[in-house]
A = this chain, B = another copy of it.
Amino acid sequence: MNSGNPHRVVVIGSGFGGLFGTQALKRADVEITLIAKTTHHLFQPLLYQVATGILSEGEIAPSTREILARQRNARVVLGDVTGVDLDARTVTAVTVGRETVVPYDSLIVAAGAGQSYFGNDHFSEHAPGMKSIDDALELRGRIFGAFELAELASTPAEIERLMTFVVVGAGPTGVEMAGQIAELAHRTLKRDFRRVDPRSARIILIDGAPLVLPTFGQRLGGKARRQLESMGVEVMLKTKVTDVDGTGLVIEDEKGERHRIEALTKVWAAGVQASPLARILAEQTGAEIDRAGRIEVLPDCTLPGHPEVFVVGDMAALDGLPGVAQVAIQQSRYAAEAIKRRIAGKPEQAPFTYFDKGSMATISRFSAVASIGKVSLSGFFAWLMWLGVHLVYITGFKHRVTTLLHWAVSFLGRGRSQRTTTEQQVFARNVIKSVGEDAYPTLPRVAEDRPEQPKAG
């Protein structure tokens, strides 16, 4: 086919799906163009460690180009994909305001999902999500910045508002964030302030479900909850968030009663919404879009009428599979295999089946929960497994001793060596934007709490 020219594969996205799909085609006689809007592959499960000052952004977001440096059949293009023309078989991407049109013979769409605010997009400026490096650094600035402002505050109410941290969503990301903010407040920062005691910070984890980590089941969810509570996290379940603003949020409990929580710092880890590319593809194929914006794909991960177009990972709806890294990885490898078979003229594969390797979530240093088939693990052993899997993964790309060492050191140490924020990110500026200029009527004059002294001379 293609009169001697290599088969052109375009891959959209540099997340788990995009990267593993590209790597699975390493030895194939294809020409791959990977188009992504960031220059890095983001290891999203550790984003919370960037937000809470444990890891640097470079440690969880290696350069896509560097990972693929030795894969000569792949090239990387920085660009925002704005359109796919299924008839013309082209992808349109925008870089520096200018369009690039890339033709394909096969297409793997792995553009992932963003945060969903369930129709309340105005929550987002007050409660950033946890989906990108930008999000994590923004939250880093807000979390550390809240303590900075609390140190300058004067009234108890104001201090409480500044030192209350609310995490919405009790899935793995929310649990990990709440746990790490608690460790930060109760341990890391305990000697750093003079007027406020970070140990008095409130950390609240809210979810509408009756369980923490609901996908892990009753037993592990219960263990995770008790572990969080022992770390000082208040867990509010069967609780909905009905409004979020600059200085707090409104929750509705089981009985339908509404309460307001004053809290400057809110983290949204509650829901996901597939990339808008799903809709663009649905319009051209008549495929269904589900509530999370995902496009329904055929059992072989392709679009109806377009066997050359695969949609994988968080963007695809298939058999109710969850939006986790393993699904994206396995689907993109399945897509790569399908492309290789077609080029070789081999028969098509059987429909995609997901092999569940299990799932894990860490709650604090040395404590995690893991669910592997019928086996449930918790505590230190689960944490060791979690650590091993993550270490192997993140260092798998580079085969460099330095990366492993770096990561191990960051990870095992108690330090928060990555507290640095830019001036642009220093909380102050975001607060002004997010809460308005009148939110701090009582910000003290530091001089006021001491009687005027006679001057030394």
Listed in ascending order, the chain A residues whose CB lies under 8 Å from chain B are 1-3, 5, 7-8, 33, 37-40, 53, 56-59, 61-63, 65-66, 69-70, 75-79, 89-90, 95-103, 105-106, 132-134, 137, 144-145, 148-149, 151-152, 191-195, 308, 342, 398, 400-403, 405-406, 409-410, 412-413, 415-424, 426, 428, 431-432, 437, 440, 443-447, 450, 452-457
Chain B residues whose CB sits within 8 angstroms of the CB of A90 once the complex forms: 447
- Whether A417 lies near B445 (C-beta < 8 A) is no
Shortest CB distance A291–B (Å) = 27
- Whether A75 lies near B2 (C-beta < 8 A) is no
From B37, B106, B194, B417, give the contact of A406 (CB < 8 A). Answer: B417
Which of A8, A99, A409, A416 neighbours the largest number of chain B CB atoms within 10 Å of its CB? Answer: A409
- Whether B446 lies near A78 (C-beta < 8 A) is no
- Whether B402 lies near A410 (C-beta < 8 A) is yes
- Whether A443 lies near B149 (C-beta < 8 A) is no
From B105, B152, B452, give the contact of A78 (CB < 8 A). Answer: B152
- Complex Cα spacing A410 to B409, Å: 12
Tell me whether A195 and B101 are in contact in the complex, defined as CB-CB below 8 angstroms, given that A96-B428, A419-B58 are known contacts: no
Tell me whether A419 and B133 are in contact in the complex, defined as CB-CB below 8 angstroms, given that A148-B39, A195-B75, A456-B2 are known contacts: no
**Can you list 24 A-B pairs, Cβ within 8 angstroms, ordered by A?**
A5-B453, A33-B446, A37-B423, A38-B423, A38-B426, A39-B145, A56-B56, A56-B58, A58-B418, A58-B419, A62-B417, A63-B192, A65-B193, A75-B195, A90-B447, A103-B450, A105-B453, A105-B456, A134-B424, A342-B456, A400-B415, A403-B417, A406-B410, A409-B409
- Complex Cα spacing A172 to B410, Å: 30
- Whether A151 lies near B446 (C-beta < 8 A) is no
Nearest to A419 among chain B residues (CB) is B63
From B39, B137, B440, B453, give the contact of A419 (CB < 8 A). Answer: B39
Chain B residues whose CB sits within 8 angstroms of the CB of A432 once the complex forms: 96-97
Tell me whether A440 and B98 are in contact in the complex, defined as CB-CB below 8 angstroms, given that A402-B417, A417-B59 are known contacts: yes
Chain B residues whose CB sits within 8 angstroms of the CB of A97 once the complex forms: 428, 432, 437, 440
Tell me whether A2 and B445 are in contact in the complex, defined as CB-CB below 8 angstroms, given that A149-B95, A405-B409, A406-B410 are known contacts: no
From B2, B134, B148, give the contact of A422 (CB < 8 A). Answer: B134
- Whether A99 lies near B445 (C-beta < 8 A) is yes
- Complex Cα spacing A99 to B455, Å: 22
From B53, B95, B195, B450, give the contact of A152 (CB < 8 A). Answer: B95
